[in-house]
Structure 1
Amino acid sequence: MKAKKYNNNDSGFLAVFITIVKTYLPFFLRILPASLRRCITLAFLLLSSTVYAQQLPFAHLSIADGLEDTVIFAIEQDKQGFLWIATRTGINRFDGDRFWTYGQNDGLPNNLARDILNTRAGRLWIASERGIAWFDGKKFQTLTDWPKNVSARVIKEAADGSLWVATYGAGLLHISAGQSPQILETFDRSSGLPSNRVRSLLVDNKGNVWIGMSGNIARISQGQVQTIQWHARRTEIRTFYQHSDNEIWVGTRHGIFHFVDGRFLPLDLGMDLSKQTINTIKRDSKNTVLIGTRDFGVYQYNVNGQVKHLDMKDGLPDNSVNSIFQDNEGNLWFGTYGGGIARLSTSKVLNWKAQKGLPNPNVYAITDDHTGCIWIGTNGDGVSRLCNQELTHYTRDDGLPHNKILSAMIDHNGTPWFGTLQGISHLQDGEFINYDQDNGLSGSVSYHLIQARDKTIWIATNNGLNRFVDGKIVQFRRIHGLPDHRINHILESKNGDLWIGSANGLIRYHQGKFSNWTTEDGLPANFINDFYEDEKGGLWIATNNGLSYFYNGVFKNWRKEQGLPHNNCTVILPGKNDEIWIGTSRGVAIFDGNDFTVITAKEGLVFDLVNRGAGYRDPEGNIWFGTGEGMSRFAADFKPGDSNPPPVHLLSISNNQTQLAIDDIAQIPQQDSSLHFNYSAISFQRAPDVNFRYRLDNGGSSKWRETRLRDLQINSLAAGEYTFEVTARIGNGQWNDAPAVYKFRVTPPFWKTTW
């Protein structure tokens, strides 16, 4: 049999050309007109898009998720655990699953909110364009003596619980704490401030109040105003920060300065920030300093003095970062100017998307050649090789038989093989050697291929099973005993048998004979997408209707009801400590034998839809998934988010659409009883894994009922006294032993009342 050959000797020309251009382009551009420079620079950026880049698993939240606006000014967490987000058009409260929006109709002085403060006493304050307000649990209450038409910019708490508020027009206001807050004193030009327009504010560890304006800094110490001389270039003081050594830093329109020997001097962090606008400076739980900028993303400065830069190419939704916050789960939140918010929960996941080098984000196959290079098959744009931090692409123009790649594997000699929509191919000495039906394949669509220990190549096609050895192809079809022609997956077992996943169940090829198991034998579905064999010889099977384990002739099955995110299981891989990783149409599930931990795009996966068979575990134990919008790699030491019991809260209770006070014992007429409960359990990393249980007790021993719903309707109750309880857990972890409780009384109609 003579295979078709296509020469690929010129495939490296583009990479060489790009290298030459990168070297000489800066010198060449200097002598060209500005308009021509822009055109050439744009052309080069498009040409060099094949350069490899990876992204951190930022989870993006925007208007489509329920966020009020994409311009974020502040992020804070209240004492109950809810996240609050200040935007141009209102305030959001977030529990990891749902957003609630508050605006002027809910008591805010203005919808444009610039800052949020959660005091040590647990009161939540908002600084808005027309004053400040606090949240009483239902709506916002405003300060009655706030000066007219004055914007509140920043709000901070002093050691005694009083508040300091930076305003744009009335200087600095000192507000009392307590049930009826009011203005205690005002510091403005008449008090010695250089300006009544205050941009930034800090109350330091000694109780000093630092005030930032345009080109000026003042400090209030023991009630006295002192102007701090600014010896550098006049600039806006945008933010204050107190470092771990108590040194005061300021972020300006021209970088960062620090307070040394009574004056502010440029701060050297080993990078030039002198031309950058600094919006915010925060410190995380690892003492890493996070610097949010306008247009240049975020800089991370760790305790060892190392600097890391993050921007949109690393996964941020926008390069202008206004606010940074770390919640009590350890998640980092980034509020941007125009890109919404982003959450970063782990650095143990890396993502690749189309705009980061992949020509097509729809990844169907992943493998590696054990030299550090990853081979990626795409749905329509051929093969990409990820090697030495660069991507190289191969298509039909380079000799592939088709650009839709359905499977990939590396043989014992290190040669890559590919199953395509038009036969199989392998790359040898720079040439693609192709085989299709003209060369003996039973079907042109090659869904999967493996090399057995005896070096035989087995090929799964749309029209039967094929064995390729010594340049010859042998077909297996129904006439040879094969139960079905649609073959999806192949596995060589430890004892040398061949396991075959088909569209008509599980097939074993043993000593030249085929055996078949279907739904009639206990399989959850006949369409098998993937499987793997564990150390005991048991077979874990991913079907289009659930997960199955086949051992000693018995199937044990799991579906969505048992914790899978979706019944269509597309990939199955072994993890560490006997964990099973399952790719589905709605994310990835990690199964430890008892519980499923779900990972979606909100937890770091590049996209929720994992393609059939697009999974790989590399020699280092990293887990790879190909999805409809890119590729994710989970590090071997990746750990899912915390599974501690989440806090549970009753949000609202109504009867016949009439709101009831949660802290009162309601009297509900029996003939009108139609109760609606709305509740929440707060988890940001593990929101898809939250499970609830509830019970309604009226003096007996009512049983708990489990649900994944966050709303519950109960109708037609008998007269009596009731206690409603709801609690939650992560996956099948420990239930929160402090349920949310509501007590009420259902009263009988008057004709059933004892006179």
Structure 2
Amino acid sequence: MNKLFRMLYLLILLSLNFSCVEKKPTEKGINKSENVSTSKTDTLKFTSGIRAIFQDSKGNYWFGSHQEGVSYYDGKTFQYFNNTNGLLDNQIRSIEEDKNGTIWLGTANGVNSYNGKKFTTYATSTNNQKLEWNKTSGDLWFNAGEKDGVNRFDGKKTNYLIFPKPKNKNTNNSFGVTDLSKDKNGTVWIATYGALFSYDGKMITIFDHEKLKLKANENLHIRSVLADSKGRIWIGNNGIGVLLIEHDKTIHFSEINGLIQKNSSKNGNLSPAGTMEHVFAIEEDSEGNIWFGDRDTGAWRYDGKTVINYTINKKLSTPMIWSIYKDNSNNLLFGMAEGGVYKFNGKYFDKTF
């Protein structure tokens, strides 16, 4: 009888596990909503890298990982969501909040919203869509994977908008969206691997290799963009460092500051200390300083005159910074490739999460 009882118990457990398997999302707009139940911990357990950081209007923190989903911190415990809870993908690339307090997550495979109880899935088809940019609306923008466009949410559905094709001379680059930033005039700056696009609500401007006046051996591979409070546009590249657009003029910021090695291959190869060639994150602090997160050489700060290099933690196996975020209290948070989050206290970095 004991053996029969154990067999019946195992069958019940297996049936429960299979009933919780997530169905694959469709590409027809809203897929479904589902209630969420997750695990909780006292410390942030992500190890695959922090790609996105966000603090909502209630003061709660959200951390998007490279491979493990998203975590929500209410000041006491960390709660975790992944694809078994309704996320379209465990790679979280952006986190936003709308005017109703709904949290929006841009994943590597579509968009999820979370109202505190349920996840809703928004997936858009990129097939045969020829939507006009000026005939769509909405302040929420998301990456659209490795496609040639961007997702814009109008309050009901996500609309896939195709980029006008620039002359992309590097066939290894796609126009998959890597970062977005809005300037003080409301213009949206959209970074893709192969070009930067700006959209002012009426027209799209393309900043490609030719427009940015790059040299023949300087290939675009954009990973970050920031429109700062002074109207400057900062472009972080994986290979040629930082470009700066100021007063309609493009400046090779890394080069003029001596941060490109003399014999640089200007691609994804490892760079030595003292260089800033692979910039994956850019942010402005409350004092107007511009911060850069480099894959190989850690954090850099530009105060308008000089560029200073900082080491986050010498014990880290990699100095790579995935994200930099200014929270509601003007604290500057750095999301690391190893999964931890550090806060700059004015002199050095404290591990905060």
- TM band (smaller chain): 0.5 to 0.7
The one-letter code sitting in structure 2 at the alignment partner of 1:167 is A
Q: CA 1:215 to 1:125, structure 2 compared with 1: closer, same or farther past 3 Å?
A: same
Q: CA 1:331 to 1:216, structure 2 compared with 1: closer, same or farther past 3 Å?
A: closer
Q: CA 1:270 to 1:164, structure 2 compared with 1: closer, same or farther past 3 Å?
A: same
Is 2:312–2:342's contact at 8 Å kept on the other side of the alignment? Answer: no
1:259 aligned to 245, 249, 253, which one? 245
Give the match's secondary structure for 1:110: coil
Residue 157 (structure 2) pairs with residue 182 (structure 1): yes
1:517-559 C-alpha deviation (Å, 9 max, x unpaired): xxxxxxxxxxxxxxxxxxxxxxxxxxxxxxxxxxxxxxxxxxx
1:239 aligned to 198, 205, 224, which one? 224
1:291-338 C-alpha deviation (Å, 9 max, x unpaired): 1110111012225x2433211456777410011112223432211112
What pairs with 1:273-288 in structure 2 (closer than 5 Å)?
273-274=259-260, 276-288=277-289
The separation in 2 between residues aligned to 1:184 and 1:339, in whole angstroms, is 32
The separation in 1 between residues aligned to 2:140 and 2:260, in whole angstroms, is 33
Shift of 1:260: 4.0
The separation in 1 between residues aligned to 2:291 and 2:199, in whole angstroms, is 27
The separation in 2 between residues aligned to 1:82 and 1:111, in whole angstroms, is 20
Residue 74 (structure 2) pairs with residue 95 (structure 1): yes
Identical columns (%)? 24
Is 2:280–2:323's contact at 8 Å kept on the other side of the alignment? Answer: yes
Residue 250 (structure 2) pairs with residue 249 (structure 1): no
Give the match's secondary structure for 2:260: coil
Give the match's secondary structure for 2:177: coil
Q: CA 1:129 to 1:268, structure 2 compared with 1: closer, same or farther past 3 Å?
A: closer
Is 1:333–1:344's contact at 8 Å kept on the other side of the alignment? Answer: yes
Q: CA 1:116 to 1:272, structure 2 compared with 1: closer, same or farther past 3 Å?
A: farther
The one-letter code sitting in structure 2 at the alignment partner of 1:332 is L
Give the match's secondary structure for 1:168: coil
The separation in 2 between residues aligned to 1:165 and 1:602, in whole angstroms, is 29
1:65 aligned to 43, 65, 78, which one? 43
The separation in 2 between residues aligned to 1:342 and 1:147, in whole angstroms, is 38
What pairs with 1:541-552 in structure 2 (closer than 5 Å)?
none
The separation in 2 between residues aligned to 1:96 and 1:252, in whole angstroms, is 35
Q: CA 1:208 to 1:326, structure 2 compared with 1: closer, same or farther past 3 Å?
A: closer
Corresponding residue of 2:63: 85
Corresponding residue of 1:344: 344
The one-letter code sitting in structure 2 at the alignment partner of 1:264 is T
Q: CA 1:96 to 1:343, structure 2 compared with 1: closer, same or farther past 3 Å?
A: farther
Is 2:44–2:340's contact at 8 Å kept on the other side of the alignment? Answer: no
Shift of 1:143: 0.8
The separation in 2 between residues aligned to 1:602 and 1:186, in whole angstroms, is 40
Q: CA 1:234 to 1:279, structure 2 compared with 1: closer, same or farther past 3 Å?
A: same
Corresponding residue of 2:104: 125
Is 1:170–1:197's contact at 8 Å kept on the other side of the alignment? Answer: yes
**Gaps spanning 5+ residues in structure 2: where?**
1-40, 128-136, 169-173, 262-276
Residue 53 (structure 2) pairs with residue 75 (structure 1): yes
Shift of 1:94: 1.5
Higher relative contact order (Cα pairs below 8 Å, separated by 6+ residues) = 2
Shift of 1:278: 0.6
Is 1:67–1:92's contact at 8 Å kept on the other side of the alignment? Answer: no
The answer to which of 290-299 and 119-128 deviates more is: 119-128
Q: CA 1:331 to 1:201, structure 2 compared with 1: closer, same or farther past 3 Å?
A: closer
Corresponding residue of 2:3: none
The separation in 1 between residues aligned to 2:237 and 2:320, in whole angstroms, is 14
Corresponding residue of 1:562: none
The separation in 2 between residues aligned to 1:204 and 1:146, in whole angstroms, is 29
Is 1:167–1:199's contact at 8 Å kept on the other side of the alignment? Answer: no
1:261-282 C-alpha deviation (Å, 9 max, x unpaired): 5453212697433352011110
Is 1:252–1:278's contact at 8 Å kept on the other side of the alignment? Answer: yes
Is 1:69–1:340's contact at 8 Å kept on the other side of the alignment? Answer: yes
Is 1:324–1:335's contact at 8 Å kept on the other side of the alignment? Answer: yes
1:145 aligned to 109, 121, 124, which one? 124
Is 1:175–1:183's contact at 8 Å kept on the other side of the alignment? Answer: yes
Q: CA 1:327 to 1:220, structure 2 compared with 1: closer, same or farther past 3 Å?
A: closer
The separation in 1 between residues aligned to 2:315 and 2:97, in whole angstroms, is 29
Is 1:202–1:209's contact at 8 Å kept on the other side of the alignment? Answer: yes
Residues paired across the two proteins, number: 275
1:125-150 C-alpha deviation (Å, 9 max, x unpaired): 111121011111123211143559xx
Aligned-residue CA RMSD (Å): 3.1
Residue 339 (structure 2) pairs with residue 311 (structure 1): no
Q: CA 1:80 to 1:270, structure 2 compared with 1: closer, same or farther past 3 Å?
A: same
Is 1:317–1:339's contact at 8 Å kept on the other side of the alignment? Answer: no
Corresponding residue of 2:35: none
The separation in 2 between residues aligned to 1:250 and 1:100, in whole angstroms, is 34
Give the match's secondary structure for 2:282: strand
Corresponding residue of 1:164: 141
1:177-231 C-alpha deviation (Å, 9 max, x unpaired): 43xx31345123xx44565423333332223333333342233344433322132
Residue 136 (structure 2) pairs with residue 135 (structure 1): no
The separation in 1 between residues aligned to 2:115 and 2:259, in whole angstroms, is 42
TM-score calculated relative to the size of structure 1:
0.34
Q: CA 1:65 to 1:258, structure 2 compared with 1: closer, same or farther past 3 Å?
A: same
1:336-394 C-alpha deviation (Å, 9 max, x unpaired): 112522233464xx79xxxxxxxxxxxxxxxxxxxxxxxxxxxxxxxxxxxxxxxxxxx
